[in-house]
Amino acid sequence: MYVWPPTIELWRAPGSLLGVNSYALAVDLGGTKIEAALVDPTGSVLSGSRFRATTGREKTTGELTESASTVVTSALAALPFNDELIGAGIGSAGPINVVDGRVSPLNLPHWRDYPLRDLVATLVPSVPVTLRMDGLCIALAEHWVGAAIGQSNFMGMVVSTGIGGGLILGGQAVAGPTGNAGHIGHVEVGGFDDTCDCGGTGCVEGIASGPKTTAWARRQGWTGSSGEDLAASYAAGDEIAIAAVKRSGRAIGQAIASATALVDLDLVAIGGGFSHVTPDLFVYIREAIAARAKFDFVTKVHVVPSGLSGDGPLIGAAALVHRSELVPPVIRVTSALR
């Protein structure tokens, strides 16, 4: 247990005595930013505890490490007097190595097998630290306080700088032996030949993420430079912007249809910055799914916007602590097969 001020070390059951509140330290690592905050057992982010630093392709290992350390220590300093920290949860863009606590986000080339879990653990040495992929964290958050409350078979999905996802099947989160299960961004979809940074061709992330969609639009002659610009052009009726968003929605819909064919999903909740480019994005996603007309078990899947605010990724990281009963344990697998 971590208690502020740090000289006080009293064990309490979370929130049990004298109005003591228990918090999880939540850390969210993505391609453009890293954030940390304190989150209570209701899924609310403590006011004044949320801190952000930029990441990005150009950042060195040292710069990324400094950013992570700064946001974590800043969030910890906001822990109210005599309240308690009961754990830390980290959601990271993939791929990750959940057994060793290392991260290798595709969009952060200077962090390869970086020991992020160990870094956070050195800053909060008296509480458990759990690392999972950000897509799984989003799924946990949607199940907890978002659009998937009461759902047992669904996917939480992020469409932003990259595209990620996480699965809850049969009421239990699914992580896989390396922690990368549900990484739908690197499912290939038919009819596209875009190359992806992972080495694949036709990955939905390489087609439909915010940066890839705007890059495609620029190649067609559009003159904007960001997802926000694309949203404005779409709203103004720009033909290239409309074509770009339709293309993105089609690819996302095809990927969701494939995932549903594989694991029989009932619901997909989509968040992330680029998911807000226009409400019509969801129309195009649903149209692509509806093309599987002879497979009722695929077309039954409901695709909805995230029920979370911009705090969603942090809430999901905190769910690794506050909703730990849903989180699959880490099992180190060794095999004699080579």
What are the φ and ψ backbone dihedral angles of 329, each rounded to 5 degrees? -70, 160
The fraction of the chain above a pLDDT of 90, given in percent, is 80
Q: Left (φ > 0), alpha (ψ -120 to 50) or beta: where does 222 sit?
A: beta
Q: How far is CA 50 from CA 18, 37, 89, 124, 250, in A?
A: 25, 4, 14, 17, 35
> pLDDT tens digits for 137-159?
999 999 999 999 999 999 999 99
Q: Is the pLDDT of residue 39 over 80?
A: yes
Report pTM.
Answer: 0.86
Q: Is the pLDDT of residue 16 over 70?
A: no
> pLDDT tens digits for 64-99?
999 999 999 999 999 998 899 999 999 998 899 999
Cα–Cα distance, 329 to 151 (Å, whole number): 21
The fraction of the chain above a pLDDT of 70, given in percent, is 92
Average pLDDT, the chain: 91
DSSP alpha helix (H) spans, 78-166: 116-123, 134-145
For the chain, the structural domain boundaries read: 2-133+312-326, 147-305
Q: Does domain 147-305 have CATH number 3.40.1190.20?
A: no
pLDDT in the model for residue 33: 92
pLDDT in the model for residue 329: 80
* Residues present in the chain in total: 338
Asked if 72 and 28 touch (Cβ cutoff 8 Å), the reply is no
Contacts of residue 329, Cβ cutoff 8 Å, sequence gap at least 6:
none
Would you say the CATH fold of 147-305 matches that of 2-133+312-326?
yes
> pLDDT tens digits for 92-116?
988 999 999 999 998 899 999 999 9
pLDDT in the model for residue 6: 40
Tokens of 281: 């994005």
Residue 261: Cβ-neighbour burial (10 angstroms; 0-12, 13-18, 19+): middle
Which helix (H) or strand (E) segment holds residue 22: the answer is strand 22-29
Domain 2-133+312-326 classification at class level: alpha beta
